[in-house]
């Protein structure tokens, strides 16, 4: 039976006949007028087949956070945009729903994710604002970053420019290097877990399968096999061997994909065939990081980044800061910007400011 719902952005009256609920997360729908995906209150409604959504019925609030919309769905639950009702701050809230919130394997992974994220402080690593357990499930509160993932940036499979690749790689490598210095492995480095923010920063996120170097032996056989196959180092799936060099291999796969637009499955042709402007020294550095045997790769992520980026001096646009390049790359593919001088650093800064304000306004939150 249809349910009457009002869109919180454009006030359109929607007759919702199909709901995503209960088994997957709180009920939400997408407005056909303004394309906003949002959650809504089920209180007092009893549509057929949605009774399990009553778990989330009380005004879609979780421990002082008001849910706004769905940002992503992962293996352990949903990530929502939300507002902290105490200070009005816009955040991202990762929720492990009640149906799995007490299942030991997932609880252990969720708690480990929180512990590891709290143990590392770095501008290129996602931080934690808070965490807890309520009737609505376990939750993890994080900063909300307007922008897009690297996966979304590469959606059309077009290679990125050398300037953009370098701008992304340098801060990403710094964050991953810090993670390794803290004796932590990410284990799922891929474009979908790399955020390009409108503020001009790169943020490495999703530590759902991360682990401490000295506790690798605690992982179950099933946990050892977790990861996205195309980005997993050979030694991981061949021998269950995990080291910082495994993360380095994943980073090299991402770099290869940025340069060529190709997600290679274990066979890496010379990237200069697709990216003719790539210096020989940078190409060799990338192929070393992609070597099948970990002991033939660089010793650290930092060593690889330096070897890859050093030959790019003079070939990239050195007059534009990495942050401005990243901010521009994070822009949504919609016509929301009008800047008089979009090619200047000042113009790019204005674009970034307008992007943040526009994105917040589109969520009905002002700026």
Residues catalogued as catalytic: 188
Structure tokens at 168: 């992304």
Distance, in Å, from the CA atom of 358 to the CA atom of 367, rounded to the nearest integer, reads 8
Distance, in Å, from the CA atom of 20 to the CA atom of 28, rounded to the nearest integer, reads 6
CB 157 within 8 A of CB 150: no
Task: Provide Rg for the chain, Cα atoms.
Answer: 22
Give the Cα-Cα-Cα angle 94, 205, 151 (nearest 5 degrees): 105
Positive or negative, the Cα torsion across 286, 289, 291, 292?
negative
Count of C-beta atoms within a 10 Å radius of residue 239: 9
Q: Is 279 exposed, middle or buried (0-12, 13-18, 19+ CB in 10 A)?
A: middle
**Strand-pair category, 137-143 with 194-197:** unpaired
CB 295 within 8 A of CB 244: no
Give the Cα-Cα-Cα angle 89, 93, 94 (nearest 5 degrees): 165
């Amino acid at each position: 039976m249809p349910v009457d719902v009002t869109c919180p952005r454009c006030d359109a009256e929607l007759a919702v006949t199909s709901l995503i609920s209960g088994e997957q997360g709180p009920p939400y729908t997408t407005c056909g007028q303004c394309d906003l995906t949002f959650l809504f209150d089920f209180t007092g409604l009893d549509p057929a087949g949605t009774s399990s959504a009553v778990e989330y019925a009380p005004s879609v609030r979780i421990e002082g956070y008001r849910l706004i919309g769905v940002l992503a769905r992962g293996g352990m639950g949903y990530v929502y945009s939300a507002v902290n009702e105490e200070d009005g701050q816009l955040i991202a809230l990762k929720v492990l729903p009640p149906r799995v919130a007490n299942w030991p394997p997932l609880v252990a992974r969720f708690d480990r994710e929180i512990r590891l994220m709290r143990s590392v402080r770095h501008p290129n690593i996602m931080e934690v604002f808070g965490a807890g357990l309520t009737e609505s499930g376990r939750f993890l509160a994080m900063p909300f970053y307007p922008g897009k993932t690297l996966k979304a940036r590469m959606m059309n499979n077009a290679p990125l420019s050398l300037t953009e690749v370098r701008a992304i790689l340098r801060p990403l490598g710094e964050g991953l290097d810090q993670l390794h210095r803290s004796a932590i492995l990410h284990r799922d480095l891929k474009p979908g877990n790399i955020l390009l923010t409108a503020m001009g920063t790169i943020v490495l996120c999703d530590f759902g399968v991360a682990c401490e170097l000295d506790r690798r032996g605690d992982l179950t056989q099933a946990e050892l096999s977790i990861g996205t196959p195309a980005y997993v180092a050979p030694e991981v799936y061949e021998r269950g061997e995990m080291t910082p060099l495994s993360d380095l291999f994943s980073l090299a796969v991402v770099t290869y994909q940025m340069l060529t637009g190709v997600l290679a499955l274990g066979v890496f042709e010379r990237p200069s065939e697709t990216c003719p402007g790539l210096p020989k020294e940078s190409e060799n550095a990338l192929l070393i990081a992609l070597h099948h045997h970990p002991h033939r790769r660089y010793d650290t992520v930092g060593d690889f980044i330096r070897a890859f980026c050093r030959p790019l001096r003079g070939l990239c646009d050195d007059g534009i800061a990495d942050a401005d390049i990243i901010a521009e790359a994070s822009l949504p593919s919609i016509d929301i910007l009008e800047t008089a001088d979009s090619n200047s650093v000042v113009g790019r800064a204005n674009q970034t400011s307008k992007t943040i304000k526009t994105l917040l306004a589109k969520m009905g939150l002002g700026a």
